[in-house]
Structure formats: C-alpha cells, structure tokens
Chains A and B, each alone.
Chain A
Amino acid sequence: MESTNLDQLAYLDCAASTPVRPVVLDSMMPYLTNQFGNPSGAHRLARSSRRAIDDAREVCADLLGFDPHGIVFTSGGTESDNLAIHGVCGSSGIAACPATEHHAVLYPVESHRGRIIKVTPEGDVDLEHLEAVLDDEVSLLSVMLVNNESGRMIDLEPIAEVRDRQAPRALLHTDAVQAVNWMDIAKAAARADLMSLSGHKFGAPKGVGVLATRPHVELNAQLLGGGQEAERRSGTHNTAGIVALGCALQALDESRIDEIHRLGLLCNRLAEGLVAAIPGCHTTIPKSRRAAGLLQLLIEDVESEALLVLLERFDLMASAAASCASGAMDPSHVLAAMGVHRTAAAGSLRLSLGWCSQEWEIDHALEVVPRCVEQVRGST
C-alpha cells in the first residue's frame, strides 16, 4: 500500500475531510458492537440505541440553536441540502441561491426553476441582485455561511433582511457544512429556517449529517419507508454515526474559540508566508472575510492538478477546486462566479486546517509549496 501514515503526512485538506477524533471513536464503538439494536424496535437493546440517538439530538439542538424536534439526521451534507431544497419546494416551488454554492445546493436549486444570484469579486452575495431576484414566487433561498472552496464567510443578516422585504414567505436555508468549525453556528444561523451539517468535516465519520429545521418548516420527505425521523427521513438510523456526530459537535463546541485562535494564527502565517515567497501568488478572499482555517490561493502560471502531484510527492496533501465524476479537476464554478478568468482559476490551491492540524505541517507547507511551484513553472 502507498504510505498513509498521518505522522509523516502534512494534511492540509480538512475542508475535504477530517480524521475522527479519538473521543468520538470511543463514543461510537458500543453502537458498532454490543449496542447494535435497531432503535425503532421495542426491546431493551433497541431502547438503548434509541436513547443514544435522542441524547445526540438534544446535544445538536442545544449547540445549533434549534428545537430537538427540528433535528433530522441524514447521511451527510449532500442529503441534508437535497432534503431542504426538494423537501421545501415540492413539485411547484421556486428556489434561489448564489452562484457560488456547493453543487449539492446549486443543482437541486436549478431543478426547481432556480434563480441564481450573482456574487461580488470577493465572493459576497450581490445584495442588489438578490433584491431583484427575490419575489413572492420564491419558496426557498439557500445561502451558505462559509464557502467550501474560497473560505469566504457570508453574513446572513442582510440577506435575511432582503428576504423579509422581498419574499417574506420564502424559507432561508443555509449550508453550514464548513462554517461549523469557524463560527458560533447558533448565532450565525439564527436567521436561517433550515441548516445543513456534515459530520466528517468536524471529527465525526463520513456518512452522517444533520438537517436542522425550525418548527414552522414543513418538509416533504424524500426517502419513504419506515417513517423514521418523524416521517421526514425514513431508513434505519445510523446509530453509531449519530452518536459520533453529537460527540464531535460537543468536542468542537468546547474547543472552538481556542481552535479558531490557534488555527487562525497558523493559517495567517501560511497565507502571508506563501504570498511573500511565491511571485504571482495571492489570496482570493480578504483576511477579515475568510474563515480562520480555510485558505484559497491563486498562483499564476501554474496548473494546480500538476502542482498537487508534486506536493503529494513531498508529503503535502492539499486540494484545488471541485473534482468531477472522473476525479479530474473541473474549472471552479466558484471562481468563475467571482469573475476569475478560467486560466487564472486553473492555478487555484486550497489549504485547509482543522482540529488535527499542527504547526509542523504549516512549516512544511511553507517550505515545499514555493519549491514545487517553481518546479512546476520551470520551462523545459
């Protein structure tokens, strides 16, 4: 096997996925072994699973600022986004979102006669265009809190104000999949009617997520069957995953303020160091508006798919824009929406930190990224 020993790999791709926290792994183990009962059952083993899920639901509700009845456990961010958009719009609703949303939002929105909102060159929602786009016909507006590619943080308050004015009946959904690590989510999403989360972005395993909803939200289930999750999402509960998500959210909440500070300092050092060391390299989002640990760079005269091969050879794991079905890098729709030319966008590099990130990884990146850029640029 190719070596994947984390002690020797500088992993700066936490926006793609994070390792499961040890405390989280411990929390979920009983539900993968002895406590395996189906939580929908009626016996003692079933009840112990059910209780674990209900405990996790309360933790989520408490930390996310939603009512426990409004917490729907899903298989992850994509399902949560799809459930929110299809579940609210039904067969006739119209959806709207900015052009920079994750495809898990963008494509479902487009399928509901989607109205796509322009963004500014710095990745913020163009409020004038939002104002023009929203009207009484719109059922749902979806705006993410932190962009997964650029790290741009978006303030929901002015967006909610436009919604209140132009389309008061439209529900506001937010994809908070990246944001949960970088902001007090209960506060940041206070104006949202629905919110999506994905466990593996903050120390829980892949395959579990949340759609949090306010009491007034009526959701048409997309998966029909046994009626789990108050008939909003059928399918046997992923007990271990749900327990893990609750535990990870708690661990995140306890450390978030310190971690934003710690990782923010590391990420700033990384950004400043790379911009200084690499000619023709700049950040896409101003420091005050980017999430503390998510850094996107545009590097001139570099194709990032080549750069990533070289970075990996020097044990640095990073990423560029979104990958397509084949695994090839597709030109970034986020950068295109921000007005970045296709050629320039081909040189994007995303370095993202998380709970597992350590100082030596930043030192390593500061050493190898400039060297690799120079090599990839080298003429032959």
Chain B
Amino acid sequence: MSRVLVAMSGGVDSAVTAALLKQEGHEVTGVTLKLWGGPQDQGCCSVSDVDDARRVAQQLDVAHFVFNYGDEFDEHVVRPYVVAHASGLTPNPCIECNRHIKFDALLDRARRLGFDALATGHHARIVQTGGGLRIARGVDETKDQSYVLYMISQDDLEMLKFPVGEMTKMQVRELAGRLGLRSATKPDSQDVCFITASQGRARFLSDRLELHPAEIVDTEGKTLGSVDAVELVTIGQRKGLDLGGNAERTYAVNVDVPSRRVVVGGAQDLLSQTVRLTDHTWVGQPYVGLIDAQISAHGQPAAAQLNSDGSLRWAETRKKVAPGQAVVFYLNDAVVGGATAR
C-alpha cells in the first residue's frame, strides 16, 4: 500500500482513478484544483465540479482537499495564452497547465507532503522501454491524451499513475456506474476551461487585449477583404474570413500580426514539408531520426524525420503547423519528446 494523491476534477475519469487505487488498497487522498476565479460554464474547477469531486471522495470514503492555484494558473496559463494570441501564435493552455500546474506545482507539493504517487484521470499509460519510462497512448485511441503530457520527465513519471489509461472510456463509465459514482454519466469536458461556451474566445481575449482589424490578401499580395481581429486568426483557418463564395477553398496560410495582414491561399499553399521547432523537451535522451509526429490533441500522427538542428521534416507534405502549437514525437506509440512550432 502506498499513499496516493489523486487529482480529481469532478469528472468521471478521475473519479474512477480514485476508485481503482482505493480498490488496490492504496491510501487515497483526493484533491481538486481551484484554478480559475472568472466566469465559467464548464471545465475543471467550477464550484459544481468541486462539489462533484468532493461527493465522489465521500462515496469512496477518502479525504478530499481543494488547492488554490489561481495565481499560478493566471501567471503560467492565462496570461501566456493572451500574450500568445497578441503575437499571432496558437497556444495550447492545457499543455501549459500540465507543464506548470499539475505536473510541477502539484507534483512538487505531493512530494513535500509525503505522498508516494500522484494519480490523474488522463487516458495515457506509463510503460517501461529500452530508453526508460515513457508515456504511451491510452488503450482507448479515441480518448488518448498522451499528446498533452509530452513534457513530463522520466523522474516525474516514476511518481505518476494513470490507471484509466488501461481502459476504454466505455469501461470507465461502466465501472463508475457499477460503483454508483456521481459523475458516471457526466459529459466529457471540452475546450479551454477558462473560456465560456456562451461568450467564447473572442470575448475573452477582447477583454484582455486590444484586437486589431487586418487586411486579407492573397499570396500575390492582392487585397481580398478584411478581418476584425488579426489576433484571432489561426493558420489553416477557413471560417470567419468573410471572403464570400471563395471561402470554401480558401485558408489562412500566414498571419502577420505586426503588419496586420492575413495571407490566404488554396489548400496547396498550406502545405509544407518542414516544421521549425523550439522549446524541445525530451523524455530521456534527445532523439534524432524517424518518428511519428502529432500536431494536435486528437490529430492523426504522421511519419517524419527529426533533424539534428531540432527541425522536423514530414515524410509527405502536410498542412502547415500553426506557430505556437505543440508537436509531439512518438516512437512505437510512446512519447520521446515534443516541441513548439515556430
């Protein structure tokens, strides 16, 4: 038996995580993170989510605490999210939350409080490979979350548990139902937890950032129209560019915030073979060679070559990666590292 801290969001995955570890005989303590104090209609730290997590902890008869990481979340997740948009980047706040809050501040606190392990409800597995411990894809491919966990070091993996990574989502819900857990039928959380569905990203950013109109030009430089906020345009975006009949076949292929310009083109203009990368992190040793790379949380991986200069070359041309997006490298479905597109 060991002492395990379980991060409980109020959702079904972390509820089942706590239940499984308790069943295995561990001394389980639940913790819910209070990350965001602003308006919220879904996500992982509203008062009703904390209620759900607490109720599950009561049902399992385990202690439950709420930790307030609001200041850290604001500093490491929300403000960088706004700054990234201001610079024309496409941020991934879930990754930054994992990097700075769950698998840094919380993990550090778990160690200092004498816990032997920290568990979360992520759909991913921790496997032993020739290169040491690695994050591998969860059993349920449609729910796999290994992409958002790429930054976890091998030292930290030794302390972590992701028990539902061995299960399909359906099995998780079935078990939660059998155990009578309150969150058994609760819908999965979607999107960014601090942005409300009712007000959206544009409203969130416009409260924190001056948005600027921009002209839309084609690849020859000819003006085609305008957008209200260049900061809200992402490479590959098709909707919202207001180009009349052309919109179906036209994509943003370049976003230049300082000169307030969005370049649009056809699907072929969006293709690229090389991705320039920055801020690499490695699970173990840095890697050069053939890998599979994934560029979004639930995107399909594709074969690529990792070069010694840190860039990535696709085996076949692919849609451009928006600067700011994370690119995660896999070997045999296990994460070897990741980086941010430039």
A residues lining the B interface (CB < 8 Å): 1-2, 303, 305-306, 309-310, 312-313, 324-330, 342, 375-378, 380
Contacts and interface: CB of A to CB of B under 8 A. Distances in A.
Contacts of B68: 305, 324, 328-330
B112 A380 contact: yes
Contact of B67 (A2, A324, A325, A328): A328
Interface string B96-140: 000000000000110111100000000000000000000000000
Contacts of B111: 380
B153 to A, nearest CB: 13
A326 B66 contact: yes
10 contacts: A1-B61, A305-B66, A305-B68, A306-B109, A310-B114, A326-B32, A327-B50, A328-B66, A329-B66, A375-B112
What are the 6 tightest A-B residue pairs by CB atom distance, in nearest-first order?
A328-B34, A328-B68, A327-B66, A328-B66, A326-B50, A380-B111
Nearest to B3: A313
Nearest to A312: B63
Interface of B: 29, 32, 34, 45-47, 50, 54, 61, 63, 65-68, 70-71, 108-109, 111-114
A326 B113 contact: no
Given A312-B63, A376-B112, 15 more contacts: A306-B112, A309-B29, A313-B114, A324-B68, A325-B47, A326-B45, A326-B46, A327-B65, A328-B50, A328-B67, A328-B70, A342-B71, A375-B113, A376-B113, A377-B112
Contacts of B34: 324, 326, 328
Contacts of A2: 61, 63
A329 B66 CA distance: 8
B9 to A, nearest CB: 12
Nearest to B62: A2
A327 B61 contact: no
A313 B29 CA distance: 11
A325 B50 CA distance: 9
A375 B113 CA distance: 7
Q: Which residue, of B70, B71, B112, has the highest number of chain A Cβ atoms within 10 A?
A: B112
B75 to A, nearest CB: 12
Contacts of A377: 112
Contacts of A305: 65-68
Q: Which residue, of B32, B34, B54, B111, has the highest number of chain A Cβ atoms within 10 A?
A: B34
A310 B61 contact: no
A328 B46 CA distance: 11
Nearest to B111: A380
B44 to A, nearest CB: 11
A326 B61 contact: no
Contacts of B47: 325-326
Nearest to B114: A375
B2 to A, nearest CB: 14
Contacts of A328: 34, 50, 66-68, 70
